[in-house]
Each structure stands twice: as C-alpha cells, then as structure tokens.
Amino acid sequence: MPFGLSKEDLAAVLAAALAGGGDFADLFLEERLTTTITCEDDKVERLSTGHDVGAGLRLIFGESTAYAYTNDLTPEGLNALARTVAQAARAGGRRAPVFDLRRQPVPYDLAVQRWPDQVAVGEKVLLVERANAAARREDGRIKQVLVNYGDTVQRVVMANTEGVYAEDERVRTRLAVQAVAMSNGRLQTGYEAVGSFGGLEAFEECRPEAVAAVAARRALLMLEARPAPTGRMAVVMAAEAGGTMIHEACGHGLEADLVQRGLSVYAGRLGEQVAVPLVTVIDDATLAGRYGSFRFDDEATPGEKTVLIERGILRSYMYDRLTARREGRRSSGNGRRESYQFRPIPRMRNTYILPGEHDAEEIIRRTAKGLLVKKMGGGQVNTTNGDFVFDVAEGYLIEGGRVTAPVRGATLTGNGPEVLRTVDMVGGDLGFSIGICGKNGQGVPVSDAQPTMRIPSLVVGGTACED
Amino acid sequence: MVDAFAREREMAVDLVRAALAKGASAAEAYLAEEEELVIEVRDERVEDLKIARERGIGLRVLQGQRLGFAYVTGWSPASFARLAEEAVANAGAASVDPYYTLPPPAVYAQDLDLYDQQMEEVPLAAKIDLALALERAGRDYDPRVRLTESCNYEEHRFRVVLANSQGLVAAYRGSNCGLEAVLVASANGDNETGFHFQYSLKYAALNPEEVGRKAAAKAVQMLGARPITPRRVPVVMDPYVAVNFLGVLAPSFSADAVQKGRSLLADKLEQRVGGRSVNIVDDGLLPGGLASAPFDGEGVPSRRNLLVEQGVLRGFLHNSYTAAKAGTVSTGNAARGSFRSIPTVGTTNFYLAAGDAAPEALLGQVSTGLYLTQVMGMHTANPVSGDFSVGAAGCLIEHGKLTTPVRGITVAGNILDILEAIEACGHDLTFVAGRGAPSILVGRLTISG
C-alpha cells in the first residue's frame, strides 16, 4: 500500500469529492526525493536533499475545475481536501458515478539501472568535481565554473472516478555546467546541460568531463566572437543546436488548451497543410532515456508517440483529459504537472522534427550568406500570433557556403507558421537538447530535437548596426 | 499579548537541538507555511479554483566549516531525526569554507503591517466577484476585445518561523493578493495580446476596473502592428519594460556574484555606472512593499540599501556568508525562495527611483524613436555579460507623439550601456511584485525588425 493508503481509502476520498456533484475527480499522490549539488569557486557549496510528500485533488464540474492540495496524506487529511473541493465546486445536481478502481497495466518499460536514492552522495559529489576540474583545465581564461547536479526519484499514485488506478516511478538525472571566460575585462559565458530519464548510469555514456569541455569551449569561443549582424538572412540550424525552435515555433501552439481557447494560430486547421512537406513533427513520451519520457502522464494516461504534423499536414493537437473530454476524444497522454501543487495541463514531452534527406554539410555549402546556429539558448512564443524569439548561444557566419567567424549576442525572431512554410532543406541527422519548459507557472522536464535545417529568411537581431 | 507562534517556535528550537545532537556544530531551522487561493475566470464564469495549504521545514547545519542542508514537507516532529541526519551527512560531503556563520538574535521592526485581516475574512464569493469584475471591465472596454487569455485573482497568506543555535528565534506572518488580466483583441485577422496586473498587501487596494481596462487598452493599441526596418534610435520604456531590464541587472548587485567573478559591477564600486538620474535602491522595509519583511532568510533585520546614487555605484547586497568573506556586515539580503532552498543573496523591494518627468514629457523629448511596452524572451538575457537581444513590441514615436504600433522587432545591446544611456526617469514608479521602475528615456538602442 503506497503512502499507507488502500484503494478503498482513495475511492472514499474521490466519492467524498463528488458528494456535492460534479463530473470527474482525480487524486494525485506524490513522494519525491531530490538531491541537488552546486559547485562554484572550486567549492562544493550547496548540497541539499529534499523529501516532498503531497497530494492534489481535482474536481471537474461542467467547464470548471476546483483544485486543492495538502501535505497531510492521512485519510483525515485527504477527506478534508475532498470537502474543500466539494464546497468550492458547489456543483449540485449530478450524481456521483459508481466506480471501481482497477490498476492500469504498465504500457512499456523505461529501464533505470542505478537508482539515485541508492547511490551515496559522495559519488554524486565526485561527478560534480570531475566536471569542475575539466572545465578549468580547458584554458587559463576560464575564471569561474558553476556546476549543478540534480536527481529526482518521484513515486506517484493516481486514481480517478472513471475507475483508473496507476502507480508510476520517474527517475531523472541532470548535470549542467556554466563556464565564465574572461579576457581584456570582458566576460563571456558558455553553458551545456545533459539530462535523462534514468539513474547514474547516464554519466557513464555522457561523461561529466565532456559536458564541461563543451561549456568551457563555448565561453572561450564567445570571447573571440564578433557582434552578430542585424537584419534578415538565411539561417541554418545545426542538429546539435537542439530543438528550441520547434518547441517555440510550433509545439506550444499545438497544445489543446491554447487551441480550444482560440489562443493559437493553429486553431481550426486540422488536416490542413501548415508546413512544407519536408516537415514531420512528433511528440513522444516513449523514448528510452530521454528527459521528457514517462510511462504514464500525470493523469494516469499511458504515454504514447503522437504525430502532430505529418509531411506538412496538421494531424493532431496535444491533449490532456479535460481538453480531450471537450472534444469527445482520448487524451494523447500530454497531461502533465510540475508536482502535486498543480493541476495537469497539456504539455510537451520529447518533441522533434523527423530527419529528412539532405546532407547536413550540403545545406551549409548551398547557403551563400547567412547565420549558422550551433547551439540555441532559451526562447519564448506568443501563441496567439505565432511570433517567437530565441537566443543563439553559439553562432557563426556563413559566407560563400563556408562557416567563417563566430558571432555573439544574436537573437532570432520569427513567426512559427511562416517558418514551417518556408523551411527549404532538412538534414538526415538529429540532435537533442533538454530543458525545463515553463507554462502557467509550472515547469516540467522536456527534450526537443531537430535535424539540420535551413530557413531562407529570419530576422537576426544582433548588436552590430551602422548609425 | 498571546504569542500566536508559541508552538511553532518550540518546534523550531527542538529541531535545532536535534541537529546538534546528531553532530552539527551549528544549526538553523526554517519553518514555513503558505495558504494559496487562485481564482481564474473566463467568459463570465470561474474556470479554475485552487485552494491549497503547504507546510515545510528547511534545516541548515554546519559541521565545523562544512555546510549541509535538507528539507521535508509537513511540520511533523516525527521527521526531525531523519532530517537532522541527512543534513549532517550532506555537510560531511561538502567543501570546507571558513566564512559560514549564523546571525545572533536581533531587534526587528514591529510596525510593517504585513498581514491583512480583511483578506482572511472576505468570503470566497466576493473574491470571485472581484475576478469577474476584472474580466468584465476588460471585455467591455472595446468590442474588438474578443478573448480572455487569463483573468485571475490570487492571494497568499504565510507564516515563517526561524530558530538557530545562536539563540535566535523569530517569526512573522504576511499576506498579499493580486489581479492579473491578459486579453486578446482581434481585427482584420490580426490578434494581439495586452496584459496588466496589480499586486498589493491590502485586499481593499485592488482595483479590478482599472486593471481590466488597461489590459484591454494595451491589446487594442497593438492592433495593426507591423515590423520596422533596422535602426538605432532613442527609446522610451514603459515601467513594465524598464522593470524587465532592471531584472537583468539585479543579480550583479549580489556580493556573492561579485566574489565569484560573475558580476558586471564587480570592479566598479564608487564609479559611475549610469546617468545622473539613475538611483537604485533595495529596501526590505518599504511600506506596502510585497517583499517587505522584518528580517531576511536567516534572521538578519531588513533595511534600506542605496545601491546606485546619481549614477555612482555605492554598494552591494550581502548575506551573513558574503559579509564575513568581505569583512563587512550583512545588509539583510539573505534570500530564501522557500523552505526547500538554501539562503542565497537576493533583492527585496528593488527599484529604480522615480524622477520628475511626466511620462508624456519623456515622449515629448523624442523626435523619432520607439516606445516599448512589451518584451519577450527577457530570460534569455545574459546577466553575467550583460548582453541581451530580446523580442519587443510597442509604438513608433514621431515628433513626440505615439503613432504606428510595431511588433516582431528585436532590441539588442548590453545592460550597462542602457544604464549609462538613461537620460531621464518618469515620476510614475510602478512595482511589479518586488521590483519597480518608472518610465525611462534611453538615449539610443539598436532595433531590428
């Protein structure tokens, strides 16, 4: 009995939540063990472990939702929660449905070898120290190194009034290195992060030294870089740049909550050609080891691979239960939440553009003048009009089909639908990046990926400008 | 007067004792409780209602010169032994550092008026009506306002109890609330968003009509916006945009950033860093300030710190650790996001002080330029190098007047260059939670579109 609560206890809480009426209720019980380690200034200075236990209870009545959470997971604590949502709802009318909690079979396995909660903190500290030392070894101009390590073991129990009961465990590890390089009084930073669904085994394949070296070299390169140009030009995004562009330019606009509220440029366009046929976009929870993977989403829906855009045709949005219910369809397993403190909403998982047929090097060779993006930084999108912006963490000029000088301070501004309609070459490679995606104040782990791609014309906002 | 925190103080002291018993040489217990209410309305009904209560404890220990930390949700004495063991074990794996100290007991401001009894007493139904009034004011402003992206009422009520092995035991409670509106205006196939918000310590201060109208007005003003050709022109920023830029600079005032070589301002103490009209203040005791508190995250009394005076950098922000390292005293800026985090150095009520000019007068000084009302992707700015290149929207200024709305542009530069180029500050100092700024006139910025 996880959390010392039987299925009968949970069923009683759900029934109490519906006592005043309502259409649906679900419970989310969570235990989370967290370790974070920070090394800066050559010191392991922040070593923290945390133990979170909490429960969230949701009641849906008509088009409204009431949500409450607590840290008190006794039957009394949960029943108090049920009274809170029942009163808040004041729904009246409907009768509580009869349900019998049945455990959901696990849809597929996501293997974890070395569970973080079974590994001594000293071994994790060693990973951090290896990264710190490696970054500093790169060059004397590396003046400061910040290394962040984090792992979480999250155990959840989910039950709802449709009779669904599921248990899941999510194990994630991540390592991020920020290097600060200084020369002639000018500071530049380089950042690299890796993360996976999995345990400490992730760092055998992806060594801390390698992550640190990438961050340090990026900071050093930016010292040499000249200010980015300003204006419209061709932009080639290398596979290793990661998928921030697809996440911002397209992903958010395909989340069903935004679509249903008319807040997306992709609303009402299912079955239409929204991108050139070179573009197929997938959102996938099932990829082994990827940061955004899981077996069940946070509403007990099994994870799946969802085709969003198939050869340019819009095939599906991303749904949670609430948005799926409005359209009388199944959830696509995109109902996610940051923790028990939040109700689930449609979120991305691992989002990527399928590789195409062009050779990555040929794409550069065929570009007379433009910008090569080797690493993207953060980004943001206004889903209502599709405008997006993201930061170029590592960029180079392309001149005469060749990669020339590194540039710093570039930002790409564009419009999602316009980019998807104008992409003219898609490479055969694929590169992933990880991040914590923020929406409505909730952060969830995701990964994004894309092949090398060319967009014939994007606005590059640099600092180089003639007066 | 009855001590409303008697039991909680006792628990905190017990946890400190438990940590010492497990081998800590010094310890600090931080108990926090928060109650949260969020009402989201859309299309004249409540779409989401969230009512929640969370409690937790953060335990910071020293074992000699090593620091360890652990937290747990709930306030259960049954969890103390394990929590203490974990924190001490974590200290054992950390590096030696001689500058960790815990502050001694102190005397705190009593008159901050941080808790609003009315907020607790007003029934839920009245708060729902307030949120509905917010949406109605926005939707009724103009027929082109066709969609509600979000219209929320939010409130937070919290208690904090702190005890350490130096004999410090302290507690306070506070509350705040706010309204936020994001509305969409549509015309001729063009959709534009406008937002506005208000946060306050006092429920009675909230003005849903004004917040709704302003959000709607901003959306309508943006209709028909288009990109512009690249240029380098004077820029007037509204207070919200100015606050966003100020946020990029904020980390550089942290003594921790200075000591670790990641502050833009590190070697500039007593030097000119901005125009003469630039005064930057951090005030943990600001009347009505959302970040006001009697003491900081480790129990040091809050105070007012003048950081930039007429363009000259006067000081940095310290907690006990950075102060010990620099041989000075803490400025009361130990920041604690929640019971889950170790105190760092952070701002409280951090603001660019108001000037004398009316915002219209700032526009009047510009013959050709840009008025910025929205920025996008500000989180991508680099606080270490100061470089930023962000998406923006606003309106052209021609002969001192606002003319054509523009969007899809980027503004790029370095935050220090902006600070130096500030020519005048408006009298309209506006706070966005714990950060504030007036409208500002910036000499020249690179715009691309």
Q: Decide if pLDDT at B112 tops 50.
A: yes
Whole-angstrom distance, CA of residue A70 vs CA of residue A295? 25
Instruction: Identify the residue whose tokens are 């969609």.
Output: B147
Q: What is the pLDDT of residues A333-391, one digit of tens each?
A: 999 999 999 999 999 999 999 999 999 999 999 999 999 999 988 778 888 888 888 88
Instruction: Identify the residue whose tokens are 């105070």.
Output: B303
Residue A380 forms beta bridges with which residues? A389
Nearest CA in chain A to B100: A45
pLDDT at A462: 67
Q: What is the pLDDT of residues B338-369, one digit of tens each?
A: 999 999 999 999 999 999 999 999 999 999 99
Number of domains in chain B: 2
Contact A317, A257 (CB under 8 A): no
Nearest CA in chain A to B45: A64
Q: Are residues B289 and B214 in the same domain?
A: no
Contacting residues of A for B37, CB less than 8 Å apart: none
Q: B321: helix, coil or strand?
A: helix
Q: What is the value of ipTM here, to two decimals? A: 0.87
Q: Above pLDDT 70, what percent of chain A?
A: 97
Least confident of A316-325, B1-10, B201-210, B291-300: B1-10
Nearest CA of chain A to the CA of B401: how many Å? 23
Contacting residues of A for B449, CB less than 8 Å apart: 459
Number of domains in chain A: 3
Boundary of a domain, candidates B219, B251, B282: B219
Write the burial class of residue A136 (CB in 10 Å: 0-12 exposed, 13-18 middle, 19+ buried).
middle
Whole-angstrom distance, CA of residue B272 vs CA of residue B311? 5
| End-to-end alpha carbon distance in chain B | 63
- Among A447, A160, A98, which Cα is nearest to A331's? A160
pLDDT at B449: 66
Q: Are residues A97 and A121 in the same domain?
A: no
pLDDT at B174: 97
Total CB pairs under 8 A between chain A and B: 228
| End-to-end alpha carbon distance in chain A | 70
Q: Are residues B126 and B143 in the same domain?
A: yes
Instruction: Identify the residue whose tokens are 């020339």.
Output: A404
Q: What is the pLDDT of residues A399-408, one digit of tens each?
A: 999 999 999 8
| The token pair that represents B297 in the structure block | 């995250």
Nearest CA of chain B to the CA of A376: how many Å? 10
Q: What is the pLDDT of residues B50-80, one digit of tens each?
A: 999 899 999 999 999 999 999 999 999 999 9
Whole-angstrom distance, CA of residue B32 vs CA of residue A357? 56
Residue A49 sits at the chain B interface (C-beta within 8 Å): yes
Q: Are residues A334 and A303 in the same domain?
A: yes
Q: 3-state SS of chain A: helix, strand, coil percent to 5?
A: 25, 45, 35
Q: For the residues B385-402, what does the mean pLDDT come to? A: 92
Q: Are residues A328 and A435 in the same domain?
A: yes
Q: Are residues A215 and A235 in the same domain?
A: no
**B3 falls in which pLDDT band (50, 70, 90)?**
low
* Domain-located, residue A242: yes
Whole-angstrom distance, CA of residue B345 vs CA of residue B317? 7
Q: Are residues A236 and A350 in the same domain?
A: yes
Whole-angstrom distance, CA of residue A37 vs CA of residue A185? 30
Contact A404, A269 (CB under 8 A): no
* Domain-located, residue A109: no
* Domain-located, residue A443: yes
Q: Are residues A149 and A69 in the same domain?
A: no
- Domain that includes residue A406, residue range: 231-461
| Cα angle for residues B151, B154, B155 (degrees, 5° grid) | 165
- Domain that includes residue B381, residue range: 225-449
Q: Decide if pLDDT at A103 tops 70.
A: yes
Q: Decide if pLDDT at A270 tops 60.
A: yes
Q: Are residues A215 and A240 in the same domain?
A: no
For an interface test with A, the pick among B73, B325, B415 (most A C-beta atoms closer than 10 Å) comes out as: B73
Tally of CB atoms within 10 A around A19: 16
Residue B310 sits at the chain A interface (C-beta within 8 Å): no
**A466 falls in which pLDDT band (50, 70, 90)?**
very low
Q: Are residues A239 and A120 in the same domain?
A: no
Least confident of B82-91, B158-167, B222-231: B222-231
Boundary of a domain, candidates B166, B194, B219: B219
Q: What is the DSSP letter of A249?
A: I
- Give, in order, the Cα–Cα distances in Å from A358 to each of A362, A396, A425, A431, A456: 7, 20, 6, 15, 15
Q: What is the pLDDT of residues A165-184, one digit of tens each?
A: 999 999 999 999 999 999 98
Q: Decide if pLDDT at A234 tops 80.
A: yes
* Domain-located, residue B198: yes
| The token pair that represents B3 in the structure block | 């001590």
Q: A75: helix, coil or strand?
A: helix
* Domain-located, residue B1: no
* Domain-located, residue B398: yes
Contacting residues of A for B147, CB less than 8 Å apart: 261-263
| The token pair that represents B198 in the structure block | 């208000």
* Domain-located, residue A110: no
pLDDT at A240: 87
Closest CB to A390 among B89, B91, B377? B377
Q: Are residues A312 and A437 in the same domain?
A: yes
